Structure 1
């Protein structure tokens, strides 16, 4: 009887994996989406902090959107920030776009990103306000894809990042976490009507966040992703994801940096959605492999693994995500790290981000 249950559990895990991959494949085989009806004035707020390898390209993409009327508000906490000269150059190079650079920091929370963007929120004029991280590469139809997902029940449209252009194995490992695992789960959940906010792209109906108290309301949780999801759901509205995720050029990554970043996000998930986080120990192919071995059906382990990774590679190829032999090895290494990451998450609460200690508020702990 126990063997039957173990085999059933393994088959269920495989079915969930194939099902989530299938749901995302379905999204990518359909049109990306186009805004229906009027194209409203939109405010885009892009916080900058330091200068990364691809920032000139990603920030410049903000000026090339195929949308009739929008403003761009760049936000820097300090005038001496390394990104400020680049932003000024981009504004001068695109005089046809309404773009401004805002400098200063308002301590509305323990989250430095919120402290940076709040001035952009206050200065913005649009009924739709997009807060987009500096390392996200925007396609020309970005706003079309976003606005296609708004309806009367939607308070926020968002998108997980998908990694592109990895250099070295560390970059490939980062993409493996972002794409075939995190983006797959988030897009599949949205396909089933359970969207979760992702801080890389937060496109708000202004009235929704204003009713909650503005950006300061997002500082009640360990990260703005969790706070955004709670704010929207608390008003009986939906978080929806764009049909296709937006790209983030990755480049090179040190393996320790990949681990630290994934550990940080893991602690955010644990603090924000503890019940869901507890189930993460079962994600990946190794729990069902162990179940098969314990059930005496170890001969099925290799075919199961082949099917498991074939589904992920197929998804990545259709979606246009990295899917080379190196990327396959990165997927296997990623899955080997899932259990150690889950365990390490319990070592302590909070994390350090850009030199800032990010701890939980009393409300988060509750």
Structure 2
């Protein structure tokens, strides 16, 4: 009688394919849970933005805020972006506009705004203090030291904010412990308030459209979900508010035990200690979280990220750069990143569900894609405050599709490489997220160079590109 031994006791063979299928289905459910959480968070947090009582308070009764904007060149929409900080509905603030070079073209815009709003306490801060390889940190240092107030609000030059953002952000930073007639909160004190980026594509370049579709859907969805769970620091530095007294206590050591003050290993503290990183915003968030035990708060406002005329190659280059930066900070999360993207996830999930339950792959895909797009559009609607306009839907869906198709090749290009180009300079990624400046006399070679629309020559960035500006 030809019967296998494991058939006699009623069991069946269980192989590697079954294990992979089970793991994939669990992962698929987890990614969908995170996506739905981001969607729900967007609905709850961003569809109602009440006016803060601080907006109408006496100046002496609210904490002062120093708004710092690092500038370089004439970014897209620069006048309107900077003007949005002059028109904040908050009774006690100053504006510091930083440029590293006295010949910087942004100074003409700065002078125009200072002349237009003489009642606003605003001034230009010219000249950098070199504390590391990060030009944005170097540009910020003088304003950071000269600011009159302890609360600092740092915004990139390509960011536009509504008039009530400052007051609501201060509300969030102060937290419930400072609200009269309320019992003390058991939660950790808030050390940083940040804002989810929401892109406005002012031009028709393919890179602009793809970046807009990415930032306003998948990126925002995951960003809101991760911050809703709040198991770890996750900060994008487009618009961050924190206290200088907290920053001054940081060593920028990514959660490692702070060295003893008498130790020779102690170097810089405060903002200067982050000059060795390229992603200083994320590192500051991590340091506040781990070194000081402070939590973050995602405001109910967005940081309007105004995108200029970016070619598709420019978008690809930026995404490759930040994958290479991120893999040195959170390697595990970067490795699994392709399997949380729409297309790759649908492929492995359809195979797994068919293998385990016999569900046809076409049926899984037929449900997966409309549901995914619906969630992304709902996130867009929450952040924008209105549905996607009908006249823009075809264009938006095309950009969304291009973004999804490019996700895996961009990840492959980013994961295999250590050098990045940013603001006309070449850097090599080191361990722990640090970088070193590399002399770059030879022209770059990158697979995105085959794409049309290259606007970069001899290592210098063209103006009006969304290149994480602010330095």
TM superposition score category, shorter chain reference: over 0.9
> Out of 248, 253, 261, which is 1:210 matched to?
248
User: Structure 1 residues 221, 275: CA separation in 2 closer, same or farther (over 3 Å shift)?
Assistant: farther
Give per-residue Cα distances to partners, 1:306-333, cap 9 Å, x unaligned. 1110111122123217832221222222
Which residue in the other structure is 1:340 paired with? Answer: 409
* Residue of structure 2 in register with 1:92 after alignment: 115
Distance 2:323 2:85 in 1: 30
SS in 2 for 1:148: helix
> Which moved further from structure 2: 212-221 or 107-116?
212-221
Q: Tell me whether 13-22 or 136-145 shows the greater mean CA deviation.
A: 13-22
Structure 2 counterpart of 1:161: 197
Structure 1 residues 102-111 or 354-363, which shifts more? 354-363
Relative to its length, the structure with more helix (as a share) is 1
* 1:269 is the counterpart of 2:326: yes
Q: Distance in 2 between matches of 1:273 and 1:32?
A: 36
**Structure of higher CA gyration radius:** 2
Which of 90, 97, 122 is the aligned partner of 1:74?
97
From 252, 256, 260, the equivalent of 2:313 is 256
Indicate the SS of the match to 2:149.
Answer: coil
Find 1:24's aligned residue among 25, 42, 50: 42
Residues 6 and 115 (structure 1 numbering): CA distance in 2 closer, same or farther, change over 3 Å?
A: closer
Q: Which segments of 5 or more consecutive residues in structure 2 lack a partner in the other structure?
A: 1-13, 178-188, 251-268, 355-359, 436-471
> Which one of 214, 230, 249 corresponds to residue 177 of structure 1?
214
Q: What is the rounded CA distance, in whole Å, between the counterparts of 1:103 and 1:354 in structure 2?
A: 19
| 1:286 matched to 2:343 | yes
Separation in 2, partners of 1:283, 1:328: 19
Task: Give the secondary-structure state (helix, strand or coil) at the position aligned to 1:159.
Answer: strand
Say if 1:6 and 1:160 are closer, same or farther in 2 by CA, change over 3 A: closer
Query: How do residues 183-222 of structure 1 correspond to structure 2 at under 5 angstroms?
Result: 183-193=220-230, 194-212=232-250, 213-222=269-278
Residues 153 and 239, structure 2, Cα contact 8 Å, conserved in 1: yes
Q: Deviations over 1:125-169 (max 9, x none)?
A: 101011111111021001122112213611111123210144323
Cα–Cα, structure 1 residues 24 and 103, in superposed 2: closer, same or farther, change >3 Å? Answer: same
Contact 1:154–1:237 at 8 Å: present in 2 too? Answer: yes
The equivalent of 2:83 in structure 1 is 60
Q: Quick one: structure 1 residues 53 and 363, their matched pair in 2 at CA, closer, same or farther if it must change by over 3 Å?
A: closer
Is the partner of 1:74 in helix, strand or coil?
A: strand
Q: Contact 1:20/1:188 (CA < 8 Å) preserved in 2?
A: yes
Q: Normalising by the residue count of structure 2, what TM-score does the alignment of the two structures yield?
A: 0.73
2:76 and 2:158 in contact (8 A); partners too: no
What runs of 5+ residues in structure 1 fail to find an aligned partner? none
When residues 20 and 138 of structure 1 are mapped into structure 2, their CA distance, relative to the original with a 3 A threshold, is closer
Quote the Cα distance in structure 2 between the aligned partners of 1:239 and 1:341: 30
2:333 alignment partner, SS class: helix
Distance change (3 Å), C-alpha of 1:276 and 1:109: same
Of 411, 418, 426, the match for 1:349 = 418
Relative to structure 2, which stretch is displaced further, 178-187 or 100-109? 178-187
In structure 2, the CA distance between the partners of 1:240 and 1:195, relative to structure 1 (3 Å rule), is farther
Normalising to structure 1: TM-score of the pair? 0.92
Correspondence 1:237 to 2:255:
no
Tell me what 2:461 maps to: none
Asked if structure 2 preserves the Cα contact closer than 8 Å seen for 1:111 and 1:358, the reply is no
- Report the RMSD for the aligned CA atoms in angstroms: 2.3
Deviation at 1:108, TM superposition (A): 0.4
Question: 1:65 & 1:244 partners in 2: Cα distance?
Answer: 13
Asked whether the equivalents of residues 18 and 308 of structure 1 are also in contact (C-alpha less than 8 Å), the reply is no
Contact preservation (8 Å) 2:131, 2:138: yes
> CA shift at 1:10, angstroms?
3.5
Matches within 5 A, 1:93-132: 93-132=116-155
Counterpart for residue 316 of structure 1: 380
Cα gap change, 1:287 to 1:246, in 2 (>3 Å): same
SS in 1 for 2:83: helix
> Residues 262, 4 of structure 1: CA spacing in aligned structure 2 closer, same or farther, 3 A cutoff?
closer
Q: Tell me if the contact between 1:222 and 1:272 (Cα under 8 Å) persists in the aligned partners.
A: no
Whether the aligned pair in 1 keeps the contact of 2:320 and 2:414 (CA below 8 Å) is yes
Identify which range, 175-184 or 111-120, moves more after superposition: 175-184
Taking a change above 3 Å as real, the CA distance of residues 211 and 33 of structure 1, as seen in their structure-2 partners, is farther
| 1:279 to 1:149, Cα distance in 2 relative to 1, 3 A | farther
The whole-number CA distance in structure 2 between the counterparts of 1:5 and 1:238 is 32
